[in-house]
Amino acid sequence: MAQFGLQIEPQFGFTFDQVAALAHECRGHGYTSLWVSDHFLLDNSARDINCLECWTLLSALAVEVKDLRLGSLVSCMAYRNPALLAKMAATVDMVSKGRLEFGTGAGWKDIEYAAYGYDFPTPGERVDRFIEGVQIIKSLWTQPVTTFRGKYYRVEAAVAAPKPTQKPHPPVLIGGSKPRMLRVMARYADAVNMGGSPDPKAYAETLSGLEKACQEVGTDFNRIRKTHFMSFVVGRNGVDVLARLTRVAARENMSPDQYRAKRARTFIGTPAGVVELLKRYTDLGVTQFMTVFPWQEERESMRLFADEVIPKV
């Protein structure tokens, strides 16, 4: 049976109390994990919209909620020195008593880089930096002393204590779907998340690329946990779907048709349609789904999933 996690996108305006309430809600509605995206702002016009920082938020949730897995989906390697990030993640794993899922990626949101004073390298350089960062992090988690001299990062006889509670380290979930990132996943990932498209055919093609990459580097493809991130606007029936869609679209100053066109990667429909779609992913080997619901529609959507989707997938 597939597992389900709730994905929180802090950049849409959450307060900590709202996130904490949703985390507690997860526990009674079939969700086993809560995930937090790593962003600094929604967009350049977001003057007064909250955006809680990913790792500070995870630290607070580790104390607030005692029985959910907690993950970053995904933490941008470029935003923090990887040695520091290794320390931060190990601390969250210790505070949570071994419940951290370390999701990470190479980064993509250029407006955040510019706003916060980070250089925005080419895609190739971002991946190069990511590879160095993952090596440093894994070494600091598992080795007594780490020395690493790369093109972009270096550490000299670095020690990192405490080590993570989970052994040999928290699961490393890598996000991405491009061919080079698939090769990185094959070499370094315990789990993968390969985009939010509602198209199982496209997912299957990416999965095939990952399997080929695993063969090239000698990794057991079946060892890697396959996850899928996806957005949903769901109602109990057609009338409920339209009502929810109308509300969601209005919050973004759009008509329902405009919302459908702009959010083409979002599934809009009834629980029966969700079950049918997600079963196509489980047939491909997906064992975990991270669900994203529209801002201020999370609680009712989670309850609907608990009643009509999770027991059937």
Query: Which pairs from 113-117 meet CB under 8 Å and 24+ separation?
Result: 113/78, 115/40, 115/41, 115/44, 116/40, 116/79
CATH topology for 3-312 is: TIM Barrel (3.20.20)
Could you tell me which of 11, 54, 63 has the C-alpha nearest to residue 35? 54
128 pLDDT exceeds 90? yes
Condensed to tens digits (0 to 9), the pLDDT of residues 38-67 reads: 999 999 898 899 999 999 999 999 999 999
- Portion of the chain with pLDDT greater than 70, in percent: 99
- Percent of residues in the chain assigned helix, strand, coil, to nearest 5: 45, 20, 35
195 pLDDT exceeds 80? no
232 pLDDT exceeds 80? yes
Q: What is the pLDDT of residue 151?
A: 98
Q: What is the pLDDT of residue 192?
A: 98
Q: What is the pLDDT of residue 271?
A: 98
Q: What is the pLDDT of residue 27?
A: 86
| CA–CA gap between residue 108 and residue 111 (Å, rounded) | 9
- Average pLDDT of the chain, as a whole number: 96
**CA dihedral (42, 48, 53, 54) positive or negative:** negative
**Residue 214 near residue 263, CB atoms below 8 Å:** no
Which phi and psi angles does 34 have, rounded to 5°? Answer: -130, 135
pLDDT tier for residue 82 given thresholds of 50, 70 and 90: very high
* Helices 271-283 and 200-217: angle between axes, nearest 10 degrees: 20
Condensed to tens digits (0 to 9), the pLDDT of residues 250-277 reads: 999 999 999 999 998 999 999 999 999 9
pLDDT tier for residue 90 given thresholds of 50, 70 and 90: very high
Give me the half-sphere count of Cα atoms (radius 13 Å) on the Cβ side of residue 31. 29
